[in-house]
Amino acid sequence: MDLTATFIRMTVSTAMNAVKTVVAEREWEQFHSEGNLAKSVAIEAGELLQCFQWGSDFDADRVQDELADVLTYCLLLADKLGVDPEQIVMQKLAITRKKYPVDKARGRSAKYDAL
Ligand SMILES: [Mg+2]
């Protein structure tokens, strides 16, 4: 593992531990079924999208807050499912790299089956 990967792992781990501490201190685990967490990801993604609802101007602080909410629920869902967030992202990127080879996909937004 290179230094960048080590740093990312430490950052995700630090954030995960902090989120879990906040939840545990408040005894909120009881509300965190897989379904409730998945719904919360989508709800917070909607709030993030709302920041851009009426045009290209947006409140950067509000965007940051909503992005943090999305990431927080993603971390909680990954933990609930017993999966490592960094590992599943890296696995999915490996699939994406195969589906979208650089020589075919560079600078293009076409779906993999239309490259
Ligand atoms: Mg929010």
Give the Å distances, CA to CA, from 97 to 3, 81, 88: 22, 25, 14
Longest dimension (CA), the chain: 50
Has residue 11 got a pLDDT over 80?
yes
Has residue 8 got a pLDDT over 70?
no
> What is the pLDDT averaged over residues 52-64?
95
Q: 6: CA distance to ligand 1 center in Å?
A: 29
Q: How far apart are CA 81 and CA 26, in angstroms?
A: 21
The pLDDT value given to residue 54: 95
> Is domain 3-82 given the CATH code 1.10.287.1080 in the classification?
yes
Q: How far apart are CA 43 and CA 37, in angstroms?
A: 10
Which residues are within 5 Å of ligand 1 (an ion), measured at CB? 44, 47, 66, 69
Average pLDDT of the residues of the chain: 94
- Per domain, the residue ranges of the chain are 3-82, 84-115
Q: How far apart are CA 10 and CA 38, in angstroms?
A: 24
Q: 49: CA distance to ligand 1 center in Å?
A: 11
Q: How far apart are CA 65 and CA 62, in angstroms?
A: 5
What is the pLDDT confidence band of residue 80, given thresholds at 50, 70 and 90?
Answer: very high
